């Protein structure tokens, strides 16, 4: 199912199992009705330095030469008005915020994501890291001026592309039991450990090494096959470090908007094929993983 791009759209969390993928509860609070669409012609809060205690929180960069407002969906207990600050044909999406360091609370992180998700319905976004704060609009203009070529290049490469996250998990004990059935050496050592009355130290050490090696081999095989299956429906992919013992794959995929349905279907197809694995995928998101990589490359060239 394609993302619902109406004013009350909520980020979907998608989960796949052997029976395919199923949609679960929204990951975060949806924007209010006033946040559904950018309003053009709204001037950026005007000249002069704001009070010393207030700054500008930057959510993302977009391509637009017209001032925009996105509603009161910003950070804070009383969400601030989200608007744009411009240089030539690019703009930073911002709201007012205290200049002190923001805590990475769940509420603040969700607010950051909420703004980016709202903006990306209409624009290709270059997401900024959480906690990016400037003292004045003039400081933001200097950022846009200094990095104009880099931002323009990234925006062009990310145009009409979305990010999806994919996590693949297994039940380690179930996999080990399958290995014991399939591998003669592992099965023999398991039987030896179970029947031996004396010390089983060396047998257990050898058994553990064989199990660890077999699990690693199977992990690498599954991950390589999954990446291969998704190659045709994605523009790029990135492997991140798995979290915990159950996760064997933690990846991000860059997908063209016109391939979103195809990606969704392919994940369901893979989930049905690998009945011993659980698939959990989320999105669409702004291209967090891929933009960060690109900007680092641009900076390295300077």
pLDDT tens by residue, 9-47:
333 444 333 333 333 333 333 333 344 556 555 444 444
Q: What pLDDT score was predicted for residue 256?
A: 95
* 150 phi and psi angles, rounded to 5 deg: -65, -45
- Is the bond preceding 284 in cis, omega lying within 30 degrees of 0? yes
pLDDT in tens, 52-62: 468 999 999 99
Q: pLDDT below 50 — which residues of the chain?
A: 1-35, 42-47, 50-52, 293-302
Question: In sequence order, what are the residues at sequence separation of 6 or more whose Cβ sits closer than 8 angstroms to the Cβ of residue 27?
Answer: 10, 11, 12, 13, 282
Average pLDDT, the chain: 81
pTM strictly above 0.85: no
> Alpha-carbon distance 175 to 160, whole Å?
40
pLDDT in tens, 156-186: 999 999 999 999 999 999 999 999 999 988 8
Q: What pLDDT score was predicted for residue 77?
A: 81
Q: At what angle do helices 184-195 and 172-182 cross, to 10 degrees?
A: 100
**Residue spans per domain, the chain:** 31-159, 163-293
Cβ neighbours around 239 below 10 Å, total: 11
Question: CA dist 44 to 83, 111, 114, 144, Å?
Answer: 7, 21, 21, 15
């Amino acid at each position: 199912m394609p993302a619902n791009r109406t004013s009350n759209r909520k980020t979907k969390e998608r989960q796949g199992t052997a029976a395919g993928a199923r949609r679960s509860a929204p990951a975060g609070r949806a924007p209010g009705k006033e946040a559904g669409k950018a309003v053009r012609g709204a001037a950026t809060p005007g000249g002069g330095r704001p009070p010393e205690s207030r700054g500008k929180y930057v959510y993302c960069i977009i391509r637009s030469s017209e001032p925009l407002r996105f509603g009161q969906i910003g950070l804070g207990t009383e969400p601030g008005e989200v608007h744009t600050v411009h240089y030539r044909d690019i703009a930073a999406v911002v709201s007012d915020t205290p200049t002190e360091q923001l805590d990475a609370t769940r509420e603040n992180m969700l607010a950051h994501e909420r703004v980016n998700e709202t903006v990306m319905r209409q624009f290709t976004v270059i997401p900024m890291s959480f906690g990016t704060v400037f003292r004045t609009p003039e400081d933001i203009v200097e950022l846009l001026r200094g990095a104009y070529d880099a931002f323009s290049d990234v925006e062009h490469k990310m145009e009409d592309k979305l990010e999806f996250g994919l996590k693949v998990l297994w039940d380690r004990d179930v996999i080990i039991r399958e290995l014991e059935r399939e591998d003669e050496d592992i099965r023999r050592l398991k039987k030896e450990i179970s029947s031996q009355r004396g010390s089983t130290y060396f047998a257990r050490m050898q058994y553990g090494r064989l199990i660890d090696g077999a699990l690693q081999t199977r992990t690498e095989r599954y991950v390589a096959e999954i990446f291969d299956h998704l190659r045709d429906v994605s523009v790029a992919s990135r492997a991140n470090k798995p979290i915990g013992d159950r996760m064997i794959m933690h990846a991000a995929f860059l997908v063209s908007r016109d391939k979103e349905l195809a990606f969704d279907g392919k994940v369901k197809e893979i989930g049905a094929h690998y009945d011993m694995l659980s698939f959990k995928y989320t999105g669409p998101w702004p291209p967090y993983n891929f933009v960060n990589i690109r900007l680092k490359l641009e900076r390295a060239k300077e």
